[in-house]
Amino acid sequence: HTNAYDEAITTPTEESVRRAMAIQLIINRELGTAKNENPNQGSFLIEELTDLVEEAVLTEFDRITERGGVLGAMERMYQRNKIQEESLYYEHQKHSGELPLIGVNTFLNKKGSPTILPTEVIRSTSEEKEQQIENLETFWKRNEKKSAAMLEQLKLVAINNGNLFSELMETVKYCSLGQITHALYEVGGQYRRSM
């Protein structure tokens, strides 16, 4: 069995025992290694898993090649769409319980899952929102003279494939995130999710 991390020096705490139990459950229920004899010494399990991963990677390489290579696939937004689809599929399976995950949707703590949001999400108060808007307007007024030039310089760097990160480090001193985002949209376009 999996020992609690503090078992060697003291009586294990509830938290350390829960963690040890979760590790044991993951090994038994999620990985399936306990169902296979000697999984680390060239057994069927490791060989089969390795072959499945290799096959999946090579299949994905073929799909990318069919789309004209990495750049062709990027132009068609293949990678981004694939990541979104897989993420949505995974989240659906996790939340529906089709994909049992120890401590996430099965074998939960009395306090519930750490990944599921509480029924009431913490929101900013009206005063906090108004204060933030006031801070932003003050920032805009303080940097009004310099912000337009900084945004033009940022657009120029983006168009010429320059070092955007370095330029952004200067631009954020005078421009808000919204101003920067709109400037970059003007030169690079805006991403639209295709789902």
- Report pLDDT for 95: 87
Give the 3-state secondary structure of residue 149: helix
> CA 155, 158, 161: angle at the middle one, nearest 5?
150
Q: How distant, in Å, are the alpha carbons of 23, 94, 124, 134, 150 from that of 144? A: 56, 48, 28, 15, 10
Specify the residue for token string 């801070």: 135
- Report pLDDT for 117: 52
Predicted confidence (pLDDT) per residue in 122-173, tens digit: 678 899 999 999 999 999 999 999 999 999 999 999 999 999 999 999 999 9
- Report pLDDT for 112: 62
Asked if residues 23 and 2 have their Cβ atoms less than 8 Å apart, the reply is: yes
pTM given for the model: 0.51
Q: How far apart are CA 132 and CA 150, in angstroms?
A: 23
- Report pLDDT for 192: 63
**Which stretches of the chain score pLDDT less than 70?**
42, 112-122, 190-195
Which tokens go with 76? 């068609």
- Report pLDDT for 108: 79
- Report pLDDT for 140: 95
- Report pLDDT for 157: 95
- Report pLDDT for 115: 55
Give the 3-state secondary structure of residue 106: strand
Report the Cα–Cα distance between both ends of the chain, in Å, rounded.
45
